[in-house]
Amino acid sequence: MSEVVMPRLSDSMEEGTILTWLKQVGDEVAVGDELVEIETDKANMAYESDTAGTLTEILAQEGETLPIGSPIARIGDSSNGEGPGAGPAGPAAAGDPPPAAEQQGVPPTTSPTGEAEEKDSEAPAAEAEPDRGVDGSDGERVKASPLARRFAQDKGLDLASLHGSGPGGRIVKHDVEEAEGPSSAAPAPSTQPEGAGAAPATGGTAKGEVETREPNKLQQTIARRMAESKATAPHFYLTIEIDMGKAVEARAAIKAGSKEGDVVPSFNDMIVKACAVALREFPKANGGYRDGRFELYSRVNVGVAVAAEEALVVPTVFDADRKGLRQIAADTRAVAAKVRDGSVTPPELSGGTFTVSNLGMFGIDEFDAVINMGQAAILAVGAIREVPAVRDGQVVPAQLMKATLSCDHRILYGAEGAEFLARVRQLLEEPVSLAL
């Protein structure tokens, strides 16, 4: 009998939440089979079994949060006949019935609030209905991202009826959003917000009805780390104005010369590349302050902030200083798509040495970003605006963009931050140096 414990799926993971069991009690498990979907501090991902045998017991039900190393299941050796109720003493003694989860051969389902609910059945294990899979199909599980499963549950949709547009036919959030739920599943409008934390109809406050929501694991991590960063890292800010005229022309030329199917770099890809080149020249900007020491990193891995569902996720472009613009563009698009469909993995969210956060597409001209823990700085990028500018005593149109560098003053000082930022501007204003 082998015990399965809560795995460490990222370098910063301390605990995990069981989302969905992909195998049920009595199922045969091979090495490499996806056993359970777990929500970590960085992403939701499927854990692959490193043990072969029969899943004999599920110890952690869906919705439960446990620290790393806690037992979550047991796998027995199928060759020895280990399974539910097996053992020298045979079935459970009379008067000591097994729990409902073992009777049904499946773990308790979870309610919309995430609390475990036991099956309402008293049928013994020998008379239980055949396992039909969590998605209603006979023994076959529908491939879908965790985010898609949640959306489908909220809309009352059967995943088995949907067509997946993700890799390998995987159902993603977009597929669920495009589908319409059954008309019978639409509840009558309520005059009161749902949720355990909703205020009663009477006794309201000046704010009106109050609905309290529990943040998910990712949102809790973001809140904790941002608070820690602002509390421990002495932030200071440097803002610079960059003439993006030549960068606009360069991108137009790249687009015109591209073939069908070629990836055309965005302005943000150009900014990532410029930062990567500058980071190689300014090692302290590519470092961090930790435990009273400077950490200088040998690899230049630029994180790119991506707006996900009710969260901000920062996937990493690894070795950005060694990649051309097209490769950076391809990498960024691929990992951003994974963030949005919920398939991004913790390794793709780890290892960043610097971060670029761009809100220009939302019309924001300038903002101050919070430094990611373990990094020396983050660059906040605004929109490119066509504005009048003075050149050689003449007022001419110019494509200007503001960028603000948030620095951790414990490692990156004012002059060093200014020199780094000036180098980024130089590279963007003469983009010929940013090789494809």
Per-residue pLDDT, 141 = 64
Per-residue pLDDT, 86 = 44
Could you tell me which residue, 368 or 9, shows the higher pLDDT?
368
What average pLDDT does the segment 139-166 reach?
74
Per-residue pLDDT, 361 = 92
Residue 67 confidence (pLDDT) above 70: yes
Against a cut of 0.75, is the pTM above it? no
The pair of three-digit structure tokens given for residue 306, joined into one six-digit string: 């991506």
pLDDT digits (tens, 9 = 90+) for 69-99: 999 999 987 655 544 444 433 334 434 444 4
pLDDT digits (tens, 9 = 90+) for 98-135: 443 333 333 443 333 333 333 333 333 333 333 334 44
Beta-carbon contacts of 255 under 8 Å, excluding residues fewer than 6 positions away, are 264
**Distance between CA atoms of residues 251 and 325, nearest Å:** 10
Residue 10 confidence (pLDDT) above 90: no
pLDDT digits (tens, 9 = 90+) for 137-150: 444 567 777 677 77
- Residue 347 carries which side chain, given as an amino acid letter? P
The radius of gyration of the chain from alpha carbons, rounded to an integer in Å, stands at: 26
- Bridge partners (DSSP) listed for residue 76: 54
CA trace torsion 109, 114, 118, 119 (10° rounding): -30
Q: What are the residue numbers of the active site?
A: 409
pLDDT digits (tens, 9 = 90+) for 178-230: 776 544 444 445 444 444 454 444 445 688 988 888 887 778 888 888 998 99
Could you tell me which residue, 198 or 174, shows the higher pLDDT?
174
**Distance between CA atoms of residues 406 and 379, nearest Å:** 6
Residue 422 confidence (pLDDT) above 70: yes
Query: What string of H, E and C letters represents the secondary structure of the chain?
Result: CEEEECCCCCCCCCEEEEEEECCCCCCEECCCCEEEEEECCCCEEEEECCCCEEEEEECCCCCCEEECCCEEEEEECHHHCCCCCCCCCCCCCCCCCCCHHHHHCCCCEECCCCCEECCCCCCCHHHCCCCCCCCCCCCCCCCECHHHHHHHHHHCCCHHHCCCCCHHHCECHHHHHHCCCCHHHCCCCCCCCCCCCCCCCCCCECCECCCCCCCCHHHHHHHHHHHHHHHHCCEEEEEEEEECHHHHHHHHHHHHCCCCCCCCCCHHHHHHHHHHHHHHHCHHHHEEEECCEEEECCCCCEEECEEECCEEECCEECCHHHCCHHHHHHHHHHHHHHHHHCCCCHHHHCCCCEEEEECHHHCCCCCCCCCCCCCCEEEEEEEEEEEEEEECCEEEEEEEEEEEEEEECCCCCHHHHHHHHHHHHHHHHCHHHCCC
Could you tell me which residue, 165 or 336, shows the higher pLDDT?
336
Residue 13 confidence (pLDDT) above 80: no
**Distance between CA atoms of residues 319 and 299, nearest Å:** 6
Q: What percent of the chain has pLDDT over 90?
A: 43
The pair of three-digit structure tokens given for residue 11, joined into one six-digit string: 């370098």
Phi-psi region of 212 (alpha: psi -120 to 50; beta: other; left: phi over 0): beta
Residue 272 confidence (pLDDT) above 50: yes
Could you tell me which residue, 97 or 348, shows the higher pLDDT?
348
Would strands 377-391 and 354-358 be described as parallel, antiparallel, or unpaired? parallel
**Distance between CA atoms of residues 315 and 335, nearest Å:** 7
Scan for tokens 């503001």, then name that residue.
Answer: 402
Domains of the chain: residue spans and CATH: 2-131 (2.40.50.100), 218-433 (3.30.559.10)
